[in-house]
Every structure is written in C-alpha cells, then in structure tokens.
Amino acid sequence: MSEKVIVTAALTGAIHTPTMSQNLPITPDEIAEEARRASEAGATVVHVHARDPETGQPSADSNLFGEILSKIKSKCDAVICTTTGGGFGMTVEQRVSVVKAYSPELASLNAGSLNFALHPILGKIKEFKHDWEPQYLAMSEDFIFPNTFKTLREFSEFFAVEDTKPELEIYDAGMLSNVAYLIQQGNIKKPIYLQFVLGILGGMQATLNNLVFLVNSAKEIIGDDFVWSVCAAGKNQFKMCNAALLMGGFARVGLEDNLYLEKGRMAESSGEQVEKIVRIGREHGIEPATPAEAREILKLKGLEKVRY
C-alpha cells in the first residue's frame, strides 16, 4: 500500500549566497530550469524566491517574480509556493507584494518573529564574489525577522482576498500559539498546512525530539485538522525529512535549505535532493503526491485562478 506525500523543492531561498555554491539558481531561467528538474524528479511543490540576476541578492522585484512564475508554469506542472519571507531587510509590503500581484495557489506565511541568524557562516568563507554577501550575513546577527501579530493579521487578510493557501512556517514552538490565535480570530481557516523549519540559529534546532514535540504540540493546540511538512537547515535535511515521512508528515528539500547531497558532496541541483528523498520514501512504500493530488490534500484553489 502506498501513501502519498507532498515533496517540496525549495529552489534558491534567501539564506545561501552565490559564493557558497555555484549551483544556486539565480536568474529566472536558472530558477525555472531547477523547477523543471525538481518536478521531473518527483517534486510536488516548488518554493520560490527571486534574486537579482546580476548579483544574486534576494529581490522583491515584482517583474522578476512574474518572469519566474510564468517560466516555471511553462516548463512543469508543479504547484508553486511563493515566498513571503523574502530576504533580510525587505519591508513587509515588499514581501507580500507577490501574493497581491500574482495570486498564487500557495505561499509561505512566517508564523512569528525571530533573530534569523546566519552570521556564524561568515567565519567559514574567506573570499566573497559580491560585496553584499558578507554584509548580508553580518547584519543577521542583529536582525529580527519581523512577523508581528499585526503583520500576521495583514498577511492573512491579503491571502484570504486572493484565496492563497498559507504554508505556515514554524521556527519555534510559540509560533503554534500564534497560529492558534489566527484561527481563533478567523484570520486563517482549517485545515491548515504547517511547515516546521528547523535548524536555523535563533529558532528550534533540528532534532527528532523537537520534531516529535512540535507535531504533538500542534495536535494539542490546534487539533487534528492540519497537515505538516518539515525542512531542516544544512546537514540535518535528510535525517529530518526521513523522520517526517515515517511520522506521517511531508518533506521539503532543496538548495534553499541545504547545499549538500551528502557529507562532502555538494548537490548539483535541488532535483538531485528530490531524487534522494523520493528514493528514501519509496523504500518505505511512500510515493510523492502529484500536483493534482496536492491540490486535493491542501484544498488549493487551482491553477486557473492564479494571475501568472
């Protein structure tokens, strides 16, 4: 008997910088090609950020997003989940603009604030390709990723107008209470979709105990009416995704979260990481859901209702 799970490929993100891997997709063409590759490998959903094509810096440019979304749509049928986390230093308005402009089926909604810290990576890199990279990493030491209750309410309202399903990013246990509050206020509707984001300095670390605790806490605080996925920064990506599959959850891989395929071997693409987690899942009789099945599982509005 096979079970169907949503496998997400987070293609580029806003954490890693071009110096860290030559395989990080930067331009709309590269990001769309990565989406195609990930989809071919079995990814159900692709999670996208935009980057400045010249410098690789995370970007909130609406035209760039438009180009990325339409190029992905023309190359594969994976469900697209746009970021509203954006990149460090972007305003809340900039972050949500992709939802207002393109009305995606699914988008991230970061469920609370944290000191999203990447500065320890600075010490590991001697020479950077671009000046913005060390500055970006250094500023994160003092950066609170702002997702206040006002922001959460406003984001939820914009999502509701567009009928965009929120993928609620949970970095810490308290954020589950924030989600419960949003449900109670009628800002978001069950069934909800949680993405546990583990291993970020400033949030909960990627351990099995933490994952079990979060899933149990979610049941306690929210009830049974949710589906969940996990992603983990760096070397814990596959361990946590494997655990999630065994626990009845979904899995997110991709170069946004981890640049490696295994110890000492960099991933050539997010697609390679998708292949690996799909292979691990199949060993347990677990199959990736198709985009059509994901639309059923997540109750998405459908591709005909997006504006890209």
Q: Which residue is nearest to Zn ion (CB)?
A: 83
| Per CB under 6 A, 237 contacts ligand KMH | no
**Nearest distance from C-beta of residue 92 to ligand KMH, angstroms:** 12
* Partner in contact with 133, chosen from ligand KMH, Zn ion, none, beta carbon below 5 to 8 Å by kind: none
In contact, 67 and 273? CB cutoff 8 Å: no
Which of 108, 210, 237, 273 touches ligand KMH by CB under 6 A?
A: 108
Q: How far apart are CA 230 and CA 213, in angstroms?
A: 13
| Per CB under 6 A, 34 contacts ligand KMH | no
Q: How far apart are CA 173 and CA 171, in angstroms?
A: 7
| Per CB under 6 A, 17 contacts ligand KMH | no
**3-state SS class at 288:** strand
| Per CB under 6 A, 85 contacts ligand KMH | yes
**Nearest distance from C-beta of residue 47 to Zn ion, angstroms:** 6
* Beta strand ranges found along the chain (DSSP E): 3-5, 7-10, 45-48, 50-51, 58-59, 79-82, 106-110, 114-115, 144-145, 165-170, 192-198, 226-232, 250-253, 260-262, 265-266, 286-288
Q: Please, which residue, 13 or 271, has the CB nearer to Zn ion?
A: 13
Q: How far apart are CA 75 and CA 223, in angstroms?
A: 38
In contact, 134 and 128? CB cutoff 8 Å: yes
Q: Which residue is nearest to ligand KMH (CB)?
A: 85
Dihedral class, residue 223 (left if φ above 0, else alpha if ψ from -120 to 50, else beta): left
* Partner in contact with 44, chosen from Zn ion, ligand KMH, none, beta carbon below 5 to 8 Å by kind: none
| Per CB under 6 A, 13 contacts ligand KMH | yes
**Nearest distance from C-beta of residue 108 to Zn ion, angstroms:** 6
Preceding omega of 288 cis (within 30 degrees of 0): no
Which of 102, 136, 145, 226 touches ligand KMH by CB under 6 A?
A: 145
Piece of 61-69, 80-88, 217-225, 295-303 that binds ligand KMH (CB under 6 A)? 80-88
- Window 78 to 97, contacts with Zn ion (CB under 5 A): 83
Which of 110, 164, 269, 270 touches ligand KMH by CB under 6 A?
A: 110
Which of 167, 174, 172 has the alpha carbon at shortest distance from 197?
A: 172
| Per CB under 6 A, 116 contacts ligand KMH | yes
Q: How many residues bind to ligand KMH according to rule CB under 6 A? A: 12
User: What is the phi/psi pair of residue 196, to 5°?
Assistant: -80, 120
**Nearest distance from C-beta of residue 27 to ligand KMH, angstroms:** 19
User: What is the phi/psi pair of residue 75, to 5°?
Assistant: -105, -25
Largest CA distance in the chain: 52
Instruction: Say how many CA atoms lie within 13 Å of 174 toward its Cβ.
Output: 8
| Per CB under 5 A, 44 contacts Zn ion | no
- Following DSSP, what letter does each residue of 130-146 receive, concatenated? STHHHHHHHHGGG-EE-
| Per CB under 5 A, 210 contacts Zn ion | no
DSSP state of 304: G
Q: Please, which residue, 24 or 286, has the CB nearer to ligand KMH?
A: 24
**Nearest distance from C-beta of residue 287 to ligand KMH, angstroms:** 26
Binding interface with ligand KMH (CB under 6 A): 13-14, 83-87, 108, 110, 116, 145, 169
Binding interface with Zn ion (CB under 5 A): 13, 83
